A and B are shown apart, each in its own frame.
Chain A
């Protein structure tokens, strides 16, 4: 191998509390491993369940029907001008992605303990790969969304171009929370019970089954402290066109909080990373 690298071998210094300087460079260098882990997660998920892809179609559809019946039909909640099933499904898209990504990534380090104790790589790759792998289920659901919109004759406007931005916001929130919980899970194993509880709780306090417009005006900003509120509002705004009103200060607050969550997650993860292999 006559690459430049081997002509002048770089020097690796191993010390207690080594500076983080090389960490981000290493993360970049191990990007291929990141893709391999994503590829593995996807392959395994669709090989293990007999109905595979069908499962990721059915789950949001059934949830949509249930929410439409309970909130739309029985509780007669307002949906603005959009059909209730569309309102629900537009919210299920980011919420399911967030829930999948968070539950997968928070258990990812424990699930890959054998890797952590036998090979070196930036540990952050593991929860990141879980978040990325969850994007596949999201893509499938997005296809379902397109079909339902077609069925109702609702066509997206130019606003749909903003969808990737809101997806990115969901990724930021999921990654931030995923970093926190995956690292906490290594330290305190009972966090594996906390995450499912939080997600179940979150499904009801986030505006998934109803429009966030039902929240009283004076509580709107407070409500936006939940980062998924901004994401869900954004998805409805981008997909369903003019028919849904948006509370922009809330979206700004959600974005800010998601970024804060990510920054805190990165810091906390880096702090615990040194000792992970010793305690896992």
Chain B
């Protein structure tokens, strides 16, 4: 029996938060002026206890997380924004040190926290392949060997000697992912990088990731895309406010996550972050009478209302609603530009409210999950929120089998059958 590829023991990560609304880094000017102020205070009140601690607060992004990953296992990490997923990946990829605990890793690790890290706009596609490859930890000889394969995968043969600043964003992303996809580490750590490119390219990437897994490599994968997690991973780890909540087979964890996290809430607000170009502010689930609800009968069609904010004028964006089953299967998605291509034109900054009727008349009973995304299709996701869950209830109609069991399948149709006369 081989030793675990990754073993994480009681890992924690502490950040110090300053309460003064200040930049992340310090300016020497501030340190000096604070020092002078403190000195002056000392002079006036020589016996007062030293200040300092009150303006700084400890924040544990991760706390006491322990788990093991066997060699060749593919593990998904899920959790809400701010649950500590990214911090965990950063520690595993040695970008930052843990504050407590220890991690043992057996084998060569490559981490992909972003596609196209270190790409330089002035350099050509060819030059960037070498540079990015080296940054991701490939040897020069290895890059040379895989060069043609990378170019082919990215579909950029003709633009190999063009500076990447002239690339379309789609080409840029394809090239970036192509380099990353040809890493051959024993352990691969991936953060949400599949959320790029058009649907066709995304499928290609997923396929590549699956192939990596089949070759017996250990994969650690963070994503909001429950379908991808379900498809790729044997096991899932659920983090919540920096702590490990559940670690089990993927289906169980994903199901628990989707149903527990948001069930029973028919409206959700998201805090305003000024650094985002576009963001979802509020999502509501409504029934046919325009009342908030999370419970619907079979054949009923829920309405989703999205309130979103554009911080500046944006062109080519769409607002999409993604519906998944509780097992993480992507059922369907719909975007506001589907029937109205005029929406691709520039949208001025401001707040918008739009709503859509989810065409779920033929869907089987079960728990469904709604995510809202704002982005430039095939290029970039500006904001994506796992918003709400709702239940379609069996109403005892034809979908219920005689024994009271739920009929299998994602969809249910009442279809007449006809008896042909005996020949």
- Which A residues contact B (CB, under 8 angstroms)? 1, 5-6, 9-18, 32-33, 36, 39-40, 43-44, 47-48, 112, 114-121, 186-191, 274-275, 277-280
Contacts and interface: CB of A to CB of B under 8 A. Distances in A.
Nearest to A184: B28
Contacts of B91: 14
B281 interface: no
A189 B186 contact: no
Interface string B79-108: 000000000001111111111111111111
A119 B134 contact: no
A9 B108 contact: yes
B122 A47 contact: yes
Interface stretch (B135-143, B201-209, B359-367, B408-416): B135-143
Given A119-B95, A187-B25, A187-B26, A13 B104 contact: yes
Contact of B184 (A1, A120, A278): A1
A7 B93 CA distance: 22
Contact of B25 (A118, A121, A186): A186
B44 to A, nearest CB: 28
Interface stretch (B123-131, B286-294, B295-303, B310-318): B123-131
B111 A188 contact: no
A119 B111 contact: yes
A115 B111 CA distance: 12
A44 B122 contact: yes
B95 A188 contact: no
A33 B25 contact: no
A48 B114 CA distance: 26
Interface-centre pick from A15, A116, A186 (highest chain B CB count, 10 A): A15
Given A13-B102, A32-B139, A36-B134, A119 B113 contact: yes
A278 B59 CA distance: 13
Given A32-B140, A115-B118, 19 more contacts: A9-B107, A9-B108, A11-B105, A12-B109, A13-B102, A13-B105, A15-B101, A16-B98, A40-B127, A40-B131, A43-B123, A114-B117, A118-B95, A119-B117, A119-B135, A120-B94, A188-B28, A189-B25, A279-B26
B25 A12 contact: no
B106 A115 contact: no
B93 A119 contact: yes
Nearest to A12: B105
17 contacts: A6-B186, A9-B106, A13-B105, A14-B103, A17-B97, A32-B139, A32-B140, A36-B134, A39-B131, A40-B131, A43-B123, A118-B114, A121-B135, A189-B23, A190-B28, A277-B96, A279-B25
Contacts of A47: 122-123
B24 interface: yes
A119 B136 contact: yes
B56 to A, nearest CB: 14
Given A36-B135, A186-B25, A277 B95 contact: yes
Contacts of B97: 14-18, 274-275
B272 interface: no
A120 B122 contact: no
Contacts of B105: 11-14
A107 to B, nearest CB: 14
Contacts of A278: 15, 96
B28 A16 contact: no
A39 B101 CA distance: 39
Contact of B117 (A12, A115, A191): A115
